Structure 1
Amino acid sequence: MEVVHTIPELRAAVARARQAGKAIGLVPTMGCLHEGHLSLIRRAKEEAAYVVVSIFVNPTQFGPNEDFSKYPRTFAEDRAGCEAAGASLIFAPEAADFYPAGASTWVDVDGVSTKLCGEFRPGHFRGVATVVAMLFNAAQADVAVFGRKDLQQLAVIRRMVRDLHIPVRIIAHETVREPNGVAMSSRNRYLSAEQLTQATTIPAAMAAAGALAQAGVTDAVRLRDVAQAVLATQPALKLQYCEIVDLETMAPVTSTTGLRCAIAIACHLGATRLIDNADL
C-alpha cells in the first residue's frame, strides 16, 4: 500500500492503476478510522481493484466553535487499518497543499443542505461538498463509498454529483453499530462508558418509530412524537432535532405515504454531538 501527500502524486498513482486496467474506488475519510470506515474500504474493494482512501481532517467543514483542533488524529493506526482492509493507497494531504493559497471557490448545494445539520452547523455542508468535489476531481474515481450514518451528507453528495454531472457512482453503505446498537463514530471515543450506555436511547427511539411505521402509521407527527418520548426518558441527551424526512430532499414531511423516508436524530451527550438515522 502506497501513501502520498500531494494531488500530483495521487494523480500519477491513479494513472498507473488505470493503465493496468484497474477501476478506481474512493473512500473519503477524516481519519480516526473505526470498523465502520474499514467496512467502507472493504465494500469499495468489492467494486474496484484499486482503492484510494483519503485521510484529511478538512478545516472548511468545521465551525468556529467545533472540534477541529481536538479531532483525533491517529494516522499510524489508520494506516494499519487501511492496509488490512485492502486499500491500495492513502491520500493524506496537508491543508496548505490541498487548498491553494487564496482559494475562494466553493460548492454550495442548496435545499438539501439547509435543514437538520445544516441549520445547526452553518457552512458545514459547503465545506463537505467542496472537499468531496476536489477529491473526486483529484482521484478521478469510478465509484465512491459513503456511510449511511451521515445521511444528509450522502444526500448532498448525491445531489452534487447529479447536478454537476460528475462521472462517479455513489454507493451508500449501511451504518455499522457498536455491540449495544449505537452508531459507530470517531467521536464515540469522547464518550465515557456511562455515556455510551446512555446513547443507546437514540437507536431505541428510532426503533420505536420504526415499529409504528411497520404497523402502518404514516403520520409524521405521530412517528416523531413516539421517538421523542423515548429520547425524553434519558435526561443526559439534549435533543437538537428529531425529524421524519424525505430521503432524497432531506426535507421534513407530514406523511410518509408514497415516499422513501427516514427518521433523523441529532443529540448532544455532554460535549459530544451524536447523529443517527433509520429508514421508515
Structure 2
Amino acid sequence: MMQILRTVAELRTRVRGWKADGKQVGVVPTMGALHEGHMSLVRAAQRGCDRVIVTIFVNPMQFNNPDDLTKYPRTEDSDAALLAREGVDIIFAPTPDEVYPKSFATSITVAGISEPLEGTMRPGHFEGVATVVAKLFGMTQADRAYFGQKDWQQLQVVKRMVADLNIPIEVVGCDTIREQDGLAMSSRNVRLDPLSRAQAPALHRILTRAATAIRDSGDVATVLETARADLRAAGFTEVEYLDLRSAALLEPMARLDAPARLLVAAWIGGVRLIDNIPV
C-alpha cells in the first residue's frame, strides 16, 4: 500500500529495509501537478526497479520569478490518487523546512552546460535544480532516477552533475509524451486560454519542419530565422530562443555534423512553453 512520507528519517528507514532485501529502488523527481508525462516516467521506473518513490516538492530555489513560484499549481490530493492507481510505493512530499533547514548553506553549480538557453533566460534556475536533485538523490538513496526529455537541458545538467560528483545513481531519460495534437505535456498547459491552447501545437509542428529543413538543406541560420518568423506568425508573442545545439554539451552548431537537438522557448497567451526534438 502506498505511503506518503514527509521526513528524510522516515524515508531512509523504508529504503534501508528495501535495500537489505536486495531491492532496486527508482525515483521520479517531480514538482507535482502530475499528468500523463509523469505517469510514463513512473511506469518506466516500475519496469526497471523493484520499488518506486515519487518525490513531490515545489522547489523554491529554482524559481527566479517569485510570481511563478506562487502560481505553480499544488495538487497533492489528486496527484496522490493518480500515483496510488499506478501502484507507487512511496510519495515523498517534504516541507521546504525539511529540504532547506535554517542552517542550509550549500548550492551546486554545473558550469558550462547550464549557462546557455534556460540558464540565460532564468538566472539561478539550474543551480536550484542541481541542488535539490542532489539532495533528493541523497535522501532517497535510489539506484535509478527517471526524467523526461522535454526538459533536455535539465537532463544533461543532472547527468553532468552525477558524473562529476560520482553519485551512485543511473539517470534515465525518457521520451517526451505529447497530446494528440503534438503539444508536449506540461503542468503549464492548464494555464493556456482556449485560443492559446489551440495555437500552441504549432510549436512542435514548426520545430519538426525546421529539423527536416536543416537535414535537407544544411542551411542552419536561414532555417532558424524562418522558423522564428513562423512562430511569431502562429501567435507566439516572444521567442526567447530557437537554437540548434549539440545533443550532449549544448554547444552552438552552425552546421549539422554531429548529434544535435533543436531547442525552443516561446511565450503564448502569457505562458512560457519549451520543447525540443532531435535533428
TM exceeding 0.5:
yes
Aligned-pair CA distance for 1:247: 1.2
The more displaced of 97-106 and 24-33 is 97-106
AA aligned opposite 1:149: K
Taking the aligned partners of 1:23 and 1:68, their CA distance within structure 2 comes to 34
Taking the aligned partners of 1:260 and 1:66, their CA distance within structure 2 comes to 37
Name the structure 2 match of 1:59.
Answer: 60
Q: How much is the aligned-residue C-alpha RMSD, in angstroms? A: 1.3
- Indicate whether 1:127 and 2:128 are aligned: yes
Question: C-alpha offsets along residues 198-244 of structure 1, whole Å, 9 cap, x if unaligned?
Answer: 111110111111222443x3343134234223213213432111000
**Which stretches of structure 1, 4 residues or longer, exceed 4 Å deviation after superposition?**
none
Taking a change above 3 Å as real, the CA distance of residues 272 and 237 of structure 1, as seen in their structure-2 partners, is same
Taking the aligned partners of 1:35 and 1:18, their CA distance within structure 2 comes to 29
Name the structure 1 match of 2:49.
Answer: 48
- Indicate whether 1:151 and 2:152 are aligned: yes
Aligned-pair CA distance for 1:64: 3.4
AA aligned opposite 1:83: A
Asked whether the equivalents of residues 193 and 269 of structure 2 are also in contact (C-alpha less than 8 Å), the reply is no
The more displaced of 189-198 and 63-72 is 63-72
AA aligned opposite 1:148: Q
Of all paired residues, the percent bearing the same amino acid is 41
Name the structure 2 match of 1:263.
Answer: 262
Aligned-pair CA distance for 1:85: 2.0
AA aligned opposite 2:254: T
Question: C-alpha offsets along residues 1-50 of structure 1, whole Å, 9 cap, x if unaligned?
Answer: 11100111111111111122210001000000000001100000011010
Question: C-alpha offsets along residues 98-131 of structure 1, whole Å, 9 cap, x if unaligned?
Answer: 1121311001001000000110100000000000
Unaligned runs of at least 5 residues, structure 2: none
Unaligned runs of at least 5 residues, structure 1: none
Asked whether the equivalents of residues 62 and 129 of structure 2 are also in contact (C-alpha less than 8 Å), the reply is yes
The more displaced of 226-235 and 267-276 is 226-235
The structure carrying a bigger helix percent of its residues is: 2
Question: C-alpha offsets along residues 43-92 of structure 1, whole Å, 9 cap, x if unaligned?
Answer: 00011010010000000000134411111010111001112223110000
AA aligned opposite 2:261: A
